[in-house]
Amino acid sequence: MNFKVKVLGEVFEKLEIIKSSMGEFERCGVLFGKAHGNEVQITDIAEIENVKKSPVEFELDPLQTLKAFERAEESGIDVVGVWHTHPSWIAYPSKKDMEGMKIYPGIWIVISKSEVRAYFGDEKGFVEVELKITGSPR
């Protein structure tokens, strides 16, 4: 399936700031927006504490994640995926990421010190998807 992923310019700027200030541990969070078939529009992100506090893996804080889903529901948007950093590796899914994609299918943004890349993953595997930067949510 060919996915189209649009991200607001201001949201991409937030991802770029994370890229330039990632720190020693993986950072993580969720992606807000709307999904319609194979098209996804990312309209915001939220950073969520990595309870693993690890340079090589992440686990979203459950309470903060619940609050993010509640925020999405109250705002009439969806949680369309997750993002996380690879402070000491490339912006490519690790084996743990691939396993996570099987459990939590959707858009996964991986940020290294040099780039921001997006993937769609599910129980069948994953594919890289292009992030198209837009100026408005439409």
Catalytic residues: 26
Q: How far apart are CA 80 and CA 56, in angstroms?
A: 23
On whether the CB atoms of residues 106 and 80 are closer than 8 A, the answer is yes
On whether the CB atoms of residues 93 and 121 are closer than 8 A, the answer is yes
Sequence-distant (≥ 6) Cβ neighbours of residue 61 within 8 angstroms: 48, 49, 50, 51
On whether the CB atoms of residues 14 and 45 are closer than 8 A, the answer is yes
